[in-house]
Amino acid sequence: MRPLLYVLSFLAVFGLGFWAYRENYTTQGALREVAALQDEIAALHESLTIQRAEWAYLNRPDRLRDLAVLNFDRLGLMPMEPHQFGHVTEIAYPPPPSLADGVATMGLGDPVDTSGLLNADPEDGSKP
Amino acid sequence: MIRTPLRPLARILHARATGGSPEKIEKDNLRLRNEALRDRARGRAQLRLLFLCMCFFSAFTLVGARMGMLSASEPMEPRGSATGSTIAAGRADIVDRNGRVLATNMLTHALYVQTKDLIDPARVARELAVIFPELDAAALERRFTDGRSFLWVRKVMSPEQMQAVHNIGDPGLLFGPREMRLYPNGQLAAHVLGGASFGAEGVNSAEVIGTAGIEKALDARLRDPAQAGTPLELSLDLTVQATVEEVLKTGVIQYEAKGGAAILMDVHTGEITALASYPAFDPNDRPNPLVDKTAEPGDSPLFNRAVQGVYELGSTFKIFAVAQAMELGLVNPDTPIDTKSLYVGRKRFSEFDNHNYGPTKTVTQVIELSSNIGTGHIALMIGGERQQNFLKSLGLLEPSPIELIEAPGVRPLVPKKWGDLVTVTASFGHGISSSPMNLAAAYASLANGGIKVTPTLLHRSTEMAGPRIVSPQVAADAVMMLRRVVTDGTASMAKMDEYAIAGKTGTADKPRRDGRGYYDDKVVNTFASVFPAEAPQYVLIVTLDEPVDRTGPEVRRTAGWTAVPVAAEMVRRAAPLLGMRPAVAPQPLDGLTAVKQ
């Protein structure tokens, strides 16, 4: 009985030693990875700041104003002014949709698979 | 424990029999017992001492070992604790109320030289001078070779310049990383932002410190590492600010003014939505202050006319006298006031251009026509002391509490002795100087239903909870009178269909710089306005410095011809951006909608 106990405890010590050795190295590996990730995060943060600054720089009002003037022919952008406001009643009704438009642009002519969709009869409460 | 008897019977009997002394036996036994007791106590005390020694020894060993380990080990960040550790930038960003960037940081590099590592100082100096045109090759070479071992060449540079310096390829040229303050919008809101520069400089980093404006006023907040990740949110609106600056610039140029200022302020929260002063500067490249002592401070673009410009604001003050008189119950809007003549001692007061408005006018008409005599009479009814206290409660006699470093140093100019003469002149804004910012806060207090408004540049969503200055009825009457100024009075150029503006013009002659009276042909024009008149939301102050209108047959210098059209254009352009619906004239109905209705 006793020799068996000795053998078992030795085996346990070996096993634990091996486990601790491996844990040590995986921990060190994880720490290295964390360090690398943090360096990457720092670099990304930095480039994010620069991109944000650049975005703000490119969107500064006087540049946008100049661009609007330069591209007035194409875009026709004007400063916002009160006379651009209107009443809802002034909005024209949309032209009646022609069938050809719908077929061409919205894909209405394509076949649609309706199996598995909601029941067509709303009064019928049962789920399809 | 077994007690040994002190007088054991057997020995006593034996001693008695042999003629010995029983007392001696007792003494012996007593001595033995005491010695045993003493030995035991000593042993225990020694044990305790030993234990205590061990405790101290292990404690000090522990401390010593820890100190040794700390001193021997390499310093490094605890990398294991990887819970979203934010990498804080050196200085917090500044953003507008919608989160658009007004000031941020950028990483760049400084260039320094270790002269003893330089291989060919002459060539390095020559090539550096090519890359940086402001450097002088000969002077640089002299500095490289005059014995110093270290010198700064440039504080910041662009990546292209840095590559060019790399290409020189001299080991003595070294770079230090630098956080640089960047204002991506250029001149926009320059007077609010101020500027920043480097403080203490090291090779690896340099501290960025604010030099003016809000950068300096809130330097501690911006540098606080705990708040470096959260940007400082200002009350400014970038779009509105850009619009106001554009219109102001156009106005200053059109009316040939030396400069101008505009303040747009939310009357409910006291937030400054736009603050402009023209001419402006680029905070990225802040110009040096004027060195010429004789120059007027306003000549420098650094001068913030909205906050630092202490002007006599003229007739814009009249509404305060009238509001106070109404609050005290002395007058109501329809009380007739003498507008014929006003004497204080020997001094006779007259109207602008010696107008004659007839014997009496109602209080509303006094404001509408901007009658100096009428206002003077009202002020005399109030009395100097009460008037002074009222102006003080509106914050017109103290530096503005706004978060700019320039603000606390700007004291309004108030006469020391407040006699009747001062009471009358102060009622129409002469002989008393205040900044446009103070005026904006005072008008906002009237427009806010009579509750005092403290201006702020920080985003604030709660309404002002200040002390009440005038009753809501008086405040409403005052705004109504200001509206009459626009519809029927001196500010008729601000009349438009879309937005109802209420306001008061003010024209003041500029005091001579030598202190002898006033200039004839130099004025400061101010238009203080509130809009929309029916339910005031914003206060707009426009001040033009030495404007002149030459469009008419005669040269005009009154605010109604200069500041008012500028302010009206600002409202027209800015109000839609502030989300205010204009009153739209309905279009004639076409057939379809007519049928529908």
- Total number of domains in chain A: 1
Which of A34, A50, A53 has its CB closest to that of B80?
A34
CATH label of the domain that carries residue B244 = 3.40.710.10
Q: Which of A48, A58, A78, A83 to mutate to test the interface with B (most CBs of B within 10 A)?
A: A83
Residue B458 has pLDDT above 90, yes or no: yes
Q: Is residue B293 part of a domain?
A: yes
Report how far residue B431's alpha carbon sits from residue B311's, in angstroms, rounded to the nearest whole number.
Answer: 10
Residue B244 has pLDDT above 70, yes or no: yes
Q: Is residue B393 part of a domain?
A: yes
Q: Are B272 and B457 in contact (CB under 8 A)?
A: yes
Q: Is residue A121 part of a domain?
A: no
B370 lies in the same domain as B244: yes
Q: Is residue B485 part of a domain?
A: yes
B439 lies in the same domain as B298: yes
Q: Is residue A14 part of a domain?
A: yes
Q: Which of A39, A62, A69, A84 to mutate to test the interface with B (most CBs of B within 10 A)?
A: A62
Question: What percent of chain B is predicted at pLDDT more than 90?
Answer: 46
Which residues form the domain of B162? 109-182
Please report the pLDDT score of residue B555 as a whole number: 85
Please report the pLDDT score of residue B237 as a whole number: 94
This prediction's pTM: 0.77
Q: Is residue B70 part of a domain?
A: no
Task: Say which residue the tokens 């501690």 belong to.
Answer: B220
Q: Is residue A114 part of a domain?
A: no
Q: Are B109 and B157 in contact (CB under 8 A)?
A: yes
Q: Is residue B85 part of a domain?
A: no
Which of B80, B101, B188 has its CB closest to that of A53?
B101
B178 lies in the same domain as B246: no
Which residues form the domain of A77? 2-106
B336 lies in the same domain as B472: yes
B293 lies in the same domain as B394: yes
Residues 49-88 in A contacting B (C-alpha not used; CB under 8 Å): 49-50, 52-57, 59-62, 65, 79-87
B414 lies in the same domain as B519: yes
Give mean pLDDT, residues B354-380. Answer: 87
Q: Is residue B442 part of a domain?
A: yes
Residue B77 has pLDDT above 80, yes or no: no
| Residues of chain A falling short of pLDDT 50 | 122, 125-128
Which of A45, A55, A81 has its CB closest to that of B87?
A45
Question: What percent of chain B is predicted at pLDDT more than 70?
Answer: 95
Residues of B in contact with A41 (CB under 8 A): 87
Q: Is residue A16 part of a domain?
A: yes
Residues of B in contact with A89 (CB under 8 A): 586-587, 589, 593, 597
Contact at CB, A53 and B104, closer than 8 angstroms = yes
Q: Is residue A11 part of a domain?
A: yes
Report how far residue B155's alpha carbon sits from residue B338's, in angstroms, rounded to the nearest whole number.
Answer: 68
B275 lies in the same domain as B355: yes
Which tokens sit at B187?
């001149």
Q: Which of A23, A39, A63, A85 to mutate to test the interface with B (most CBs of B within 10 A)?
A: A85
Last residue of a domain, one of B182, B212, B229: B182
Q: Is residue B589 part of a domain?
A: no
Q: Is residue A117 part of a domain?
A: no
Residue B204, phi then psi, degrees to nearest 5: -90, -20
Residues of B in contact with A52 (CB under 8 A): 101, 104
Q: What is the pLDDT of residues B23-39, one digit of tens each?
A: 888 899 999 999 999 99
Closest chain B residue to the Cα of A81, Cα to Cα: B573
Q: Is residue A93 part of a domain?
A: yes
Residue B89 has pLDDT above 60, yes or no: no
User: End-to-end distance of chain A based on CA atoms, in angstroms?
Assistant: 70
Q: Is residue A119 part of a domain?
A: no
pLDDT band at B87 (very low <50, low <70, confident <90, very high): very low
Q: What is the pLDDT of residues B468-507, one digit of tens each?
A: 999 999 999 999 999 999 998 888 888 888 899 999 999 8
B314 lies in the same domain as B455: yes
B339 lies in the same domain as B466: yes
Q: Is residue B325 part of a domain?
A: yes
- Please tell me if residue B106 touches chain A, with a CB cutoff of 8 Å: yes
Closest chain B residue to the Cα of A37, Cα to Cα: B82
* Integer angstrom CA distances of residue B55 from B48, B49, B51, B166, B486: 10, 10, 6, 61, 89
Last residue of a domain, one of B140, B156, B182: B182
Residues of A in contact with B499 (CB under 8 A): 82
Contact at CB, B79 and A31, closer than 8 angstroms = yes
Burial B10-46 (b: 16+ CB within 10 A, else e): ebbeebeeeeeeeeebbeebeeeeeeeeeeeeeeeee
Q: What is the pLDDT of residues B98-120, one digit of tens each?
A: 999 999 988 888 999 998 888 98
Higher per-residue pLDDT: B244 or B230: B244
Which among B522, B505, B488, B507 is positioned nearest to B564, based on CA atoms? Answer: B505
Give mean pLDDT, residues B275-284. Answer: 92
